[in-house]
Amino acid sequence: MNTVSFTSSSLDFLINLSQNNNREWFTQHKDAYVKAQENAAELIENLIFLMNKHDQLENESGKKSLFRIYKDVRFSKDKTPYNPRFACGLNRAEKFRRGGYYLNIQPGKSALACGFFAPNPADLLRIRKDIEVNYETWERLLASKEIKENFGKMKGDALKSAPRGFEKDHPTIHLIRH
């Protein structure tokens, strides 16, 4: 499979959509949208192929994995009709279930994320136990230059005290609380 990139014309479409987020403009530029959507689907298809060398994803195709560009504005304060981005979620195969990947292509806000979003209690306990047992590896990983440069410090919600069943004075309680 050839390497695929997100083209400058696809990026230009997203920039223009963010500046002209209305139905009239979108209708006039539907051909540009279709080409940009095909480019995004091809990129995701390539990503799925490459990732399946190291993991097993259940996503069948890039096109089926893409999130809709049309917004549901019924309960939103922002009534613009389109999401000026291409995004997808990549799900791990059932036997490896839990955790996954998210790709967001948006001018100035692109991101690739992996991990667990709102893990269930059993998965959260498993993650915390792994940190508890392998804390030196976790500390070394999080202190690595690549992680620091690309992600910075650990962010997000954390418990104020140690979770039930974990020692308050564990060397990495600051990670276990996340």
In this predicted structure, what is the pLDDT of residue 97?
Answer: 64
Residue pair 170/156 in contact (Cβ under 8 Å)? The answer is: no
**152 pLDDT band (50/70/90 cuts)?**
confident
- pLDDT of 89 > 90? The answer is yes
In this predicted structure, what is the pLDDT of residue 1?
Answer: 62
pLDDT digit string, tens, across residues 102-116: 999 999 999 888 887
What phi and psi, each to the nearest 5 degrees, are found at residue 115?
130, -155
Please state, as a whole number, how many other Cβ atoms lie within 10 Å of the Cβ of residue 101: 19
| DSSP bridge pairs for 66 | 88
In this predicted structure, what is the pLDDT of residue 117?
Answer: 74
Long-range contacts, stretch 42-45, CB < 8 angstroms, 24+ apart: 42/4, 43/4, 43/5, 43/6, 43/105, 44/88, 44/90, 44/103, 45/4
This prediction has a pTM of 0.76
Q: How many CA atoms lie within 13 A of 60 on its CB side?
A: 1
